[in-house]
Structure 1
């Protein structure tokens, strides 16, 4: 099926979008039929989040039961990973700066910051628990709370709540504007930091789950329920493409050096790479993955792709 482009008028849902029946999540994966491509790093537990740091060539995996981080040398997959205990399960891993990773732990209302070169850690208590953060204008930090609401933390520590959100799982910044992906409403919504309110909102299909921003300031969204890859522009705020991707697209990562969007398919246990440089996504790679591939990350220097299994099959490392 070919990709499709849509106008914006029928897609604007305004300040009061109609909720979908339930927030979408990953499809339940079947038992694997094919061996995963690439190498497998044992994790010993379900993987909840991944990050690949090019500065130190380190794969960082958050796992549950018990909650901890695994630091794996990407240049030596046979080496024993360094383990760091966490006060709770990490919902997301984010780069604070080169060589440093932050694990967001909503259950503990904290984040753990790790210097990947030294292995030193610092646990930081948060006044407001977060599952996702992004930097807005004038050093403000926008956060998605575990209950799906959205808040703004100013540089001086002042906290403001943005009304009208109840299902946000991801916040991103594109073109200097902050956007919230609301799974309950299956919409992408501007966050007006100056007015502390929702801005324009566009419907993102019937079951949007994850979002990333590319180097062109486009927001790429996986729509898991209907099986689509959606591409939004930030200026103007428009839905530009809806590309069919059967198989339950869920986890999403963007390779900015090669303009590849990597998507995991949770219904079929696959990893697919789409070239998104020229408009409509074009499939360039397809690999069998570990079972229940709920997380994916990219090493921006080498293009290495890592996929985490949420059923305990480990971490897949693919060199396309």
Structure 2
């Protein structure tokens, strides 16, 4: 009888032991909850650099091609040329769930209106493409193909000139897409995992757990994926082809925002529980702290200019945005 119980337990772990539910080896609980930033305490130290007034900002991005800082507050995008100081605003049909930049083009996923919006940062002109399913992230793979993560159903679909050509399904909470030369990786915030996807067929490869509550990720110049584990308070580094965790480093303070400076090999991480930002040198065998600076409150997002090293930290509670050149 004991042998039968053990056999069933092993079968349950591997296959679900005759359950009708689809098996997901990365799903460890039936109740999945995405990690969130901490609620920042009141500031006790003046922020470094210069602080500019701004409404609550949900997303921050920087395009080195056009020297444009992008701040998203609800459906409003503020585009600032950091060389000339010229500023433009454009209003999207709804608030974006995420922003993705490439070569002067901004892609915004708009789940509330079932669209993705493309903004030319040189002209601030925006066009939209309907994508049913509540898109939460969009990234171009090449001039013809765009990968889109969808909320309902929880899938990643590949569009060629707007037409679906492949789909990866049986995800839980795809939140961010990270294209590489050969594959596409999806960060799932509900299963807190990274999974490779073949962008031609939609086939999924073997995924890996990314800590206890992964929230944000970015690729580096070594072909790795850097990931913030907000719940586990760590900075993780994964090699790709194959997907293997190479580094995990403790980052106390509820890390959340993440930006990468490829010129200086610095990963900038905001700490929402302490109103700080830390710059880690990631060129060696493990991250090394190089900078630690006080920030505005609720520093949920950060972007970096790789030419100058300037970092832009934005507050999600209306404390403005901060400009620092370390």
Q: RMSD of the TM alignment (CA)?
A: 2.3
Match of residue 228, structure 2, among 222, 230, 240: 222
Whole-angstrom CA distance in 2 between matches of 1:115 and 1:195: 30
Q: Which runs of 5 or more residues in structure 2 are unaligned?
A: 1-22
Q: Compute the displacement of 1:140 (Å).
A: 4.0
Q: In structure 2, do the counterparts of structure 1 residues 174 and 121 end up closer, same or farther at CA, with 3 Å as the change threshold?
A: closer
Question: Superposed, which structure 2 residues align to 1:120-139 within 5 Å?
Answer: 120-136=125-141
Q: Which runs of 5 or more residues in structure 1 are unaligned?
A: 1-13
Larger deviation, residues 249-258 vs 125-134: 125-134
Larger RCO of the pair (alpha carbons < 8 Å, separation 6+): 1
Say whether the 8 Å CA contact 1:151–1:161 is kept in structure 2. yes
Match of residue 34, structure 1, among 11, 32, 45: 45
Q: Compute the displacement of 1:75 (Å).
A: 3.6
Say whether the 8 Å CA contact 1:151–1:159 is kept in structure 2. no
Instruction: Establish whether residue 204 from structure 1 lines up as the match of residue 214 from structure 2.
Output: no
Q: Flag the structure with larger Rg.
A: 2
Instruction: Establish whether residue 250 from structure 1 lines up as the match of residue 256 from structure 2.
Output: yes
Q: In structure 2, do the counterparts of structure 1 residues 101 and 285 end up closer, same or farther at CA, with 3 Å as the change threshold?
A: same
Say whether the 8 Å CA contact 2:89–2:124 is kept in structure 1. no
Give the structure-2-normalised TM-score.
0.85
Shift >6 Å, 4+ stretches:
none
Say whether the 8 Å CA contact 2:224–2:239 is kept in structure 1. yes
Question: Which residue in the other structure is 2:58 paired with?
Answer: 48
Q: Compute the displacement of 1:262 (Å).
A: 0.7
Instruction: Establish whether residue 18 from structure 1 lines up as the match of residue 24 from structure 2.
Output: no
Give the structure-1-normalised TM-score.
0.86
Say whether the 8 Å CA contact 1:136–1:176 is kept in structure 2. no
Instruction: Establish whether residue 68 from structure 1 lines up as the match of residue 76 from structure 2.
Output: yes
Say whether the 8 Å CA contact 2:149–2:157 is kept in structure 1. no
Question: Which residue in the other structure is 1:192 paired with?
Answer: 198
Question: Superposed, which structure 2 residues align to 1:75-114 within 5 Å?
Answer: 75=83, 81-97=87-103, 99-114=104-119
